[in-house]
């Protein structure tokens, strides 16, 4: 069965540095998402992406964050000037459709540790 893949599985970065988290969504999916989960807290929506543009973003997704689909397969989340509070598990997800209860398929996540 097709899967969403995320790399790396664990990223350690110094505070203030930029980090790029990578995701390969399921190939025929059209909608892409990033979520994050701070340790011990809820999984939170960050952003959704369709047709090469952001379709919705949460208040967490400020100017520090950006997303990109640089080619036909990858979907990236860039965090500029990382802060300690950015330490979290980041999940990528994709779906074929949206808004009608179509399930989102999740990757294994990238654990981001900011030192």
Partner 1 sequence: AQTVTQSQPEMSVQEAETVTLSCTYDTSESDYYLFWYKQPPSRQMILVIRQEAYKQQNATENRFSVNFQKAAKSFSLKISDSQLGDAAMYFCALSNFGNEKLTFGTGTRLTIIP
- Interface positions with partner 1 (CB under 8 A): 3-4, 31, 33, 35, 41-45, 48, 55-56, 58, 91, 98-101, 103-109
Convert 12-45 to b/e letters by CB count within 10 Å (16 or more is b).
ebeeeeebebbbbbbeebebbbbbbeeeeeeebb
- Closer to partner 1 at the Cβ: 4 or 82? 4
- Closer to partner 1 at the Cβ: 9 or 17? 9
Enter the tokens of residue 5: 């893949």
We find the least distance from the C-beta atom of residue 78 to partner 1, in angstroms, to be: 20
- Closer to partner 1 at the Cβ: 71 or 100? 100
We find the least distance from the C-beta atom of residue 99 to partner 1, in angstroms, to be: 4
Q: What is d(CA 23, CA 48) in angstroms, rounded to the nearest whole number?
A: 13
């Amino acid at each position: 069965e097709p899967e969403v893949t995320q790399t790396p599985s664990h990223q350690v970065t110094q505070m203030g540095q930029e980090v790029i988290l990578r995701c390969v969504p399921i190939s025929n999916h059209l909608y892409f998402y990033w979520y994050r989960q701070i340790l011990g807290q809820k999984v939170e929506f960050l952003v959704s992406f369709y047709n090469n543009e952001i379709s919705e973003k949460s208040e967490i997704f400020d100017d520090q964050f950006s997303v990109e689909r640089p080619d036909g397969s990858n979907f990236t989340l860039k965090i500029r000037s990382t802060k300690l509070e950015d330490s979290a598990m980041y999940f990528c997800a994709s779906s074929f459709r949206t808004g009608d209860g179509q399930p989102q398929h999740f990757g294994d996540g990238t654990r981001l540790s900011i030192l």
